[in-house]
Amino acid sequence: MADIHIRKDRRAGRITFTRPQALNALSHDMALAIDATLDDWRDDPQVQLVIIDAEGERAFCAGGDIAAVYRAGLAGDHQVGRDFFRDEYQMNAKIAEYPKPIVAFMQGFVMGGGVGVGGHASHRIVCDSTQVAMPEAGIGLIPDVGGSWLLGHAPGRVGEYLGLTSGRMGPGDAIFAGFADTYLPFDEWPALIERLAAEGDIAVIKGRPRPDAPLEGMDLSAFGGRNVDEIMASLQSDIDETSLAALNRNSPLSMAATLALVRAARGDLSIRDSLAREYRFTFRATAESDFLEGVRAQIIDKDRKPKWSADASDGNVRALLGPLQDGGLTWEECE
């Protein structure tokens, strides 16, 4: 496949995203290829660890390639999105639970679907250019691909802050928030990849001291509010105009659902619980949320002026996160 290069290299399995012109956005076919490859390598004695990286300096993976989902949803076909999200989430769980080490090298933009691949690897390496974010509330969706699991396990109110504002994290913040493990300058990555492939041993991973993490010193107590309105009122009182502006830009429904997802994830026993809850929303997203309008405004027309109209009431949030008639996301393919 032209968009992804999969091969075995000495003692490592190698997965490289090869569409830098599209910021290595993750397509449905790419997600399926990763999933199938991990199955193939699970019991392969030659593969002692897996390395996931990407071509180009601008992005590891800037998100999911959702143009097909948008077009189908606009035409009234909601199954295209449901199939994509289902297969992607099963792949995310497989990465998180893989019995062999997975080392992800995440430069540049690491957003949405990119977090779903790299953010669940057992060893996550970042560099100076790394910018990690879950910006889904800005396109009328929710932090999915296991994003609610990561946000829910971030320290303090960092999860609520990042999920509601779509804030970006540099390498220090990404490590502090639990989205990455190791900082290493980009120019040192080729030598480390060479050693990993040659030796098949994660003990060769030696990082540098973590860069500063601005999030660590921020007062995010306002994001402990019971709901989005209460959080916005606190931000107004604190004169936190930057955060307030972000919340005013994003979909009210998406933010309300994000808040519920992040907080629910804190009680989940595994990433599967969080992914299953996310799927309840994304299963319904093209038909019942602000998603199509958000994609139109931010990605298709790029006018950056979404007209949010979806019901953001507590009752509708509960309905969108409620059980699906078909039973929801299943895990038979992940066993």
**Domains in the chain: boundaries:** 4-201+219-334
For residue range 44-69, list pLDDT tens digits in order: 999 999 999 999 999 999 999 999 99
For residue range 243-296, list pLDDT tens digits in order: 999 999 999 999 999 999 999 999 999 999 999 999 999 999 999 999 999 999
Residues sharing a CB contact under 8 Å with residue 232, sequence separation 6 or more, in sequence order: 244, 247
The residue from 88, 136, 160, 240 that is catalytic is: 136
The residue from 13, 63, 64, 114 that is catalytic is: 64
DSSP string, 190-217: HHHHHHHHHH--GGG---BPPPP-GGGG
The residue from 53, 65, 144, 278 that is catalytic is: 144
Quick check: is 144 catalytic? yes
Quick check: is 113 catalytic? yes
**331-to-20, 23, 41, 79 alpha-carbon distances in Å:** 31, 30, 19, 19
What is the pTM for the complete model shown?
0.96
The residue from 13, 73, 108, 113 that is catalytic is: 113
Residue closest to 306 by CA, chosen among 254, 261, 260? 254
Give the per-residue pLDDT at 213.
Answer: 98
Residues sharing a CB contact under 8 Å with residue 126, sequence separation 6 or more, in sequence order: 106, 107, 110, 132, 171, 174, 175, 180, 182, 183, 184
For residue range 123-175, list pLDDT tens digits in order: 999 999 999 999 999 999 999 999 999 999 999 999 999 999 999 999 999 99
Backbone angle region of 318, left / alpha / beta, with phi > 0 → left and psi within -120 to 50 → alpha: alpha
Quick check: is 136 catalytic? yes
Which of the listed CATH numbers 3.10.20.30, 3.90.226.10, 3.30.420.40, 3.30.70.20 matches domain 4-201+219-334? 3.90.226.10
